[in-house]
Chains A and B, each alone.
Chain A
Amino acid sequence: MLMRDSIGDDVLLDVRDLETHFYGEESVTRALGGISFQVKKGETVGVVGESGCGKSVTALSILRLLPKLNAKTVGGEVRFQGRDLLQLSDREMRQIRGDQIAMIFQDPMTSLNPVYTVGRQIAEAVQIHTNASRSDAMAKAKEMLRLVRMADPERRVNSYPHEMSGGMRQRAMIAMALACSPELLIADEPTTALDVTIQAQILRLIVDLKERTGTAVMLITHDLGVVAETCQRVIVMYAGRIVEQATVTDLFARPAHPYTQGLMRSVPDRRRGRQRRLPEIPGIVPSLREPIVGCSFAPRCPFATGICSEQTPILHDVEPGHAAACWRAEEVVGA
């Protein structure tokens, strides 16, 4: 377990009823069906869920990086340090992106420019957001590469992305993201493409840097193990909605939504015995093209009753600081 300090009271990011749609030729996909959550200063929040649950769309909606042609945030607010990001001009948003909110993605190769050296790209990020001179910015780039424990930073500052391994590129991305000391770092599956020993190094690095700089981290992942080892609080998403929110300890000890329970039980675990059949979640994820009546998990849920297919459950506290969107959460939490 990595260090977890106590959660401060200052709210850094306050997302309310965020709703994002994708438009197809004849259909509308309700990728985010109105989600609300907060990230506090210096906190590490994990966002988990399976493909298509809306976790990456959440990040892109916050950063206003959705594809302009076929996606739109149609409702809600994204309050960051008191300002609604959805109301800012493109220019104001560009000043926040990379400066106060930074991001890293799964595949660093697609987010690094292949024709510039890594040092120059980090320096450019510094120069855009500060009035540092070119040589100061390059010095900062070297310092950042040292900070992310890049091997041989003096040489690597002049390397091109293709000359680096996947782990080194992800270190370079983190160096670039943190160069302007952002308040919030959004990391979308930052270690999914990496080998386990490199993943352990990068996760350790993100947590260490967070401790040192006080940056809040929103870590998007499909891996419950990664969440357990790095996050303080967890948001579980299913079919474009938040189904559960809790501290990492509460979530793993007492999952209160049947989907969270099913997800945890379907991961192989030596404590439950090898070579055994794993508990399955029956059925498949619903299509978000049709409006969903009631709870979106009801057709797959072992707890479902009449009300579940009629009324959408509201996210409510099951115990202090532990919320679930389930009509029977109070029973589920003990099951």
Chain B
Amino acid sequence: MSDPLLRVESLTKHYPLGAGILKKAVPMVRAVEDVSFSVKAGETLCIVGESGCGKSTVARLLMRLAEPTNGRVLIDGTDIAGLNKHALRAVRRRMQMVFQDPYSSLNPRLTAGQIITEPVENFERLSRRQREARAADLLQKVGMSPEMMHRLPSELSGGQRQRLGIARALSLNPSLIIADEAVSALDVSVQAQILNLLLDLQQQMGIAFIFISHDLGVVEHVGHRVAVMYLGRIVELAPCEALFANPVHPYTEALIAAAPVPDPARVRLEAPVDGEVPSPINPPNGCAFHPRCPLAVERCRIEVPPLVPMADGRVVACHVRAPADIPALEHIERTADTKNGHEAIDLEKDQDPGSGITKPH
């Protein structure tokens, strides 16, 4: 098997809350906790979850816009944490980002052409003619007319601005584009245009996407694999079709059931889950979903469930639906007698230092 394009190992980010110079114990926001996944070339990995689940923090850590508290991000096998400024610049060429808000992520004083060639000019000098040729080419790739290069962002519609954001990301021929809620602010008819553009680009150029979204309909449409996050952790990671056809984690199930479907004939049961997402400052012990989970048992209140591989290639973190294998279970229980729930987290890492995933038998 060839190396994946991107590998993320036990990525963790804790933000201190407020200044801690005089205070002894600073409360920490546990934004991302022990997240591991990989992305293959040309693949779309979706990350879904509700506000505060850590999906945007993951994106920031991947771009090294924030420094991880723990864990590694490897691109083609190179750990980006150890890179100096110069080497990091080279890596950033390979990974680009498209943001949610096409209004605030474009410099209002630059023309469309300047905006999309600016990244290239970070790396090479372009003559005016070269720059215009590059801009025209990029605009055509995203379905805009080359004459648009002289327009200012304020003269463009929301959809056109998002196309510009995508053209800017494409300008360095990246292998991976991280799209953080890239279609969320758009009307459905414009959203369809942008989703089509992303699918076309992937097919033509073999670009891999990390597609971060809260919209399950969109995720199901574009994803190859989907990671579901809840309160900083991945609770289920599965091939897209399998996830939607047969969600295993109770949270995945609730999320899919909650998404409104434009079909009045669909029979809707009671609201799928009660309660709200707890604060990441003081997350519940054990499985973070247990206070809202209809299946929760005693064990869920004590131990954080490890991600357990299932037969169909997915991993699930749930004591009830995906119990870990017996030896690991005994190991955890033995330790759980003497340690509290929080330290059980470290225990998982002891078992499998690389990924935090418990191996089968």
Q: Closest B-chain residue to A251, C-beta based? A: B264
Chain A nearest CB from B212 CB (Å) reads: 14
A178 to B230, CA, bound (A): 33
Asked if A197 is at the interface of the complex by the 8 Å CB criterion, the answer is yes
Interfacial chain A residues near B24, Cβ < 8 Å = none
Q: Closest A-chain residue to B191, C-beta based? A: A266
Stretch at the interface among A127-135, A276-284, A302-310: A276-284
A222 touching B188 in the complex, CB below 8 Å, given contacts A229-B268, A249-B264, A268-B195: yes
Stretch at the interface among A16-24, A104-112, A199-207, A327-335: A199-207
Interfacial chain B residues near A195, Cβ < 8 Å = 50-51, 214, 277
Q: Closest A-chain residue to B48, C-beta based? A: A196
Contact between B262 and A228 (Cβ–Cβ < 8 Å)?
yes
Chain A nearest CB from B277 CB (Å) reads: 7
Asked if A91 is at the interface of the complex by the 8 Å CB criterion, the answer is no
Contact between B271 and A200 (Cβ–Cβ < 8 Å)?
yes
Asked if B347 is at the interface of the complex by the 8 Å CB criterion, the answer is no
Contact between A277 and B188 (Cβ–Cβ < 8 Å)?
no
A168 to B276, CA, bound (A): 9
Q: Closest B-chain residue to A273, C-beta based? A: B221
Interface size of B by CB at 8 A reads: 49
Q: Closest B-chain residue to A234, C-beta based? A: B264
Interface size classification for chain A: 35 or more
Stretch at the interface among B72-80, B112-120, B251-259, B326-334: B251-259
Interfacial chain B residues near A223, Cβ < 8 Å = 260
A51 to B273, CA, bound (A): 31
Question: Which of B220, B241, B261 touches A225 (beta carbons < 8 Å)?
Answer: B261
A50 touching B187 in the complex, CB below 8 Å, given contacts A195-B51, A197-B254: yes
Asked if B130 is at the interface of the complex by the 8 Å CB criterion, the answer is no
Asked if A275 is at the interface of the complex by the 8 Å CB criterion, the answer is yes
Chain B nearest CB from A264 CB (Å) reads: 7
A interface residues, Cβ below 8 angstroms from B: 1-2, 50-51, 151, 165, 167-168, 195-201, 203-204, 222-229, 248-249, 252, 262-264, 266-270, 274-281, 284
Q: List 12 A-B contacts (CB under 8 A).
A: A151-B275, A168-B276, A196-B255, A201-B274, A204-B271, A226-B260, A228-B263, A269-B217, A274-B221, A274-B222, A280-B196, A284-B157
